[in-house]
Structure 1
């Protein structure tokens, strides 16, 4: 595919309006051609702000020939239906995380996209920030000796009672919303052989979904990961890698703003070093990765499926 990827947006969720639509509008490689909502006035307001035609109802957007790809920011429980519908309509898809609510459904959608020659990408943005590639290089170069373990946490302040992440019928809960990030970091640095040793999911008072959790994981080689997450906590977004000769700490790891100066803290016996990198817009980087996948007619699927299996394993262990 040459030229800009023509994007339709299925749903006007907060993350779409606050982060993704501005990034699609700013990218020279994407053009917003349609915005769909169950509410016609809402679709009209969002389309007037970011461009494209307003469409009432999600199915109508998928019928538009001028739409090459769709972005799906709907609640997690609705992803499977509308991602499948988009793939059946011949559209490439960027969907909010988690891609579905279990690994079997995720695998089926990834298989369908592969069979149709379409890109299907889950919107896990932090993996596209170059800071984490720089951390990987430091580890590979032996900056902390042999890697022994990882600790990662992502917690956010309490959400309003009306937030969809408190609703089990919409796929709510802390695990898929914020727990996914530190679990993905563990996969990112410790590799695909991770298995869940133990897990605890806790419901806050009066909640129908888990609002916090902790997970212990290990690899066959004996490396370990400790993961913590929650949606009723003080904000924390960080990971730390321990090695035989030092450790690496990364703060504001998962959702840094575009103007944030990334810092990698390197601690060794000889002292402490701060490695400062140039600011980087991981939202724009994610869109660039999606565009590349659309033009290739495929998207990397391995880590998406492994992540889905980990989420299932955590739920099973904690049950």
Structure 2
């Protein structure tokens, strides 16, 4: 029997509560051994629900010898400090996206993990859903002819005013939260060597971070037009337009595990829907992480995509006009 990866949770963020901890508890190759929080009560409450050990303080979690790996769902501004501390403590790390907001820092942490024989993986879950591989196969078979353009949108309704995504000191902003998804999707279908042609970031009145943005990328003659925002009607979709047709995907980035994914293909005057079996991208992301931990090495392609994504997001951040 394959030994379980013993994971400690660094923080009681909403995504840990709603998605990650339930998936970890259901996994046959993971044991949740501890939950840590800055103060005692949140860790005690969450640890009690999963019958594991509560820990006050993140340093205390890293000191536990029974913890093989940590999951870090902390605000972006805290990622670098605690990822580095975890690596120095000899722990593998699964960290919420993005790893950092600085490409140089992202490279440094990935190099540190590699030098210590540890896995550092960014938790970009949607790329692990099988629908996107099915779309790739359609493209490769010429279902819409030659690819001409890619369009993607990820927008969410207004958040509570106290939400950390509105706080610049914690690494808030639409780009780092929802903007990452369409950028990564463009990489997924067009390749990593994308050029940033233009970008604009904007803030709603009274906000201290960007709450919306648009990006134009290109690879050769193929363009990618991306939009994202924190105070919009919900949208989670992408579209690939080719010389003879188009492929459309809705509920693209955060579908629940029981969602029946649909791919819509329009070509030659005909439309068809391809319905796939449900897939659990949270479970799949965790499986990719635990497989890397057992091998004690992150996949080279995954590391490269993390670095290139950091480069692109930084260019968008620098090129966008903030008003």
Query: Which TM bucket (shorter chain)?
Result: over 0.9
The answer for the alignment partner of 1:11 in structure 2 is 11
Give the superposition deviation at 1:296.
1.3
User: Which residue does the alignment assign to 1:172?
Assistant: 172
Q: Which moved more, 1:115-124 or 1:126-135?
A: 115-124
Q: 1:218-257, aligned counterparts within 5 Å?
A: 218-219=218-219, 221-257=220-256
Which position in structure 2 is the counterpart of 1:110?
110
TM-score under structure 1 length normalisation: 0.98
Corresponding residue of 1:294: 293
Q: 2:216·2:223 contact (CA, 8 Å) conserved in 1?
A: yes
Kindly indicate whether the alpha-carbon contact (under 8 Å) linking 2:147 and 2:240 is maintained by their aligned counterparts in 1: yes
Partners of 1:100 and 1:216 in 2: CA distance: 22
1:149–1:223 contact (8 Å) kept in structure 2 = yes
For residue 135 of structure 2, give the secondary structure of its aligned residue in structure 1.
Answer: helix
Quote the residue 1:100 is aligned against.
100
List per-residue Cα deviations over 1:254-309 (Å, max 9, x = no partner).
00011100000001014001000001111111111111111111223010111011
* Residue 148 (structure 1) aligns with: 148
> When the two structures are superposed, what TM-score results if normalisation uses the length of structure 2?
0.97
Residue in structure 2 matched with residue 260 of structure 1 by the alignment: 259
1:78 is aligned to 2:78: yes
Q: Helix, strand or coil: the match of 2:28?
A: coil
Range moving further from structure 2, 288-297 or 182-191: 288-297
SS state at 1:301 partner: helix
2:305 matched to 1:303?
A: yes
User: C-alpha separation between the residues in 1 aligned to 2:41 and 2:304?
Assistant: 39
Shift of 1:51: 2.6
- Stretches of 4+ aligned residues off by more than 2 angstroms: none
Q: Secondary structure at the match of 2:185?
A: helix
Equivalent residue number for residue 315 of structure 2: 313
Deviation, 1:52, is 1.5
Q: How far did 1:39 drift?
A: 1.4
State the distance in 2 between where 1:3 and 1:234 align: 44
| Residue pair 1:216, 1:225 contacting (<8 A) in 2 also | yes
RMSD: 1.0
2 CA distance for matches of 1:48 and 1:114? 34
> Superposed, which structure 2 residues align to 1:25-64 within 5 Å?
25-64=25-64
8 Å Cα contact 2:9-2:36 kept in structure 1: yes
Is residue 155–residue 234 contact of structure 2 (8 Å, CA) maintained in 1? Answer: yes
Check conservation: 1:157, 1:231, Cα contact below 8 A.
yes
- Aligned-pair CA distance for 1:2: 4.1
Question: Which deviates the most, 293-302 or 182-191?
Answer: 293-302
- Name structure 1 gaps, 5 residues minimum: none
- Larger deviation, residues 113-122 vs 174-183: 113-122
1:113–1:298 Cα contact (<8 Å) kept:
no
Of 234-243 and 112-121, deviating more is: 112-121
Question: Retained in 1: the 8 A contact 2:236–2:250?
Answer: yes
> 2: distance between equivalents of 1:41 and 1:237?
35
Q: Number of paired residues?
A: 318
Could you tell me which residue of structure 2 aligns to residue 204 of structure 1?
204
CA distance in 1, matches of 2:234, 2:292: 33
Q: Is the 8 A contact 2:2 2:29 kept in 1?
A: no
Which residue number corresponds to residue 23 of structure 2? 23
In the aligned structure 2, how far is the partner of 1:225 from the partner of 1:252? 19
Aligned-residue offset at 1:48: 0.3
Q: Deviations over 1:34-87 (max 9, x none)?
A: 100011111110000013100000001001110000000000000000000001
Hey, what does 2:215 align to over in structure 1? 215
Distance 1:51 1:25 in 2: 10
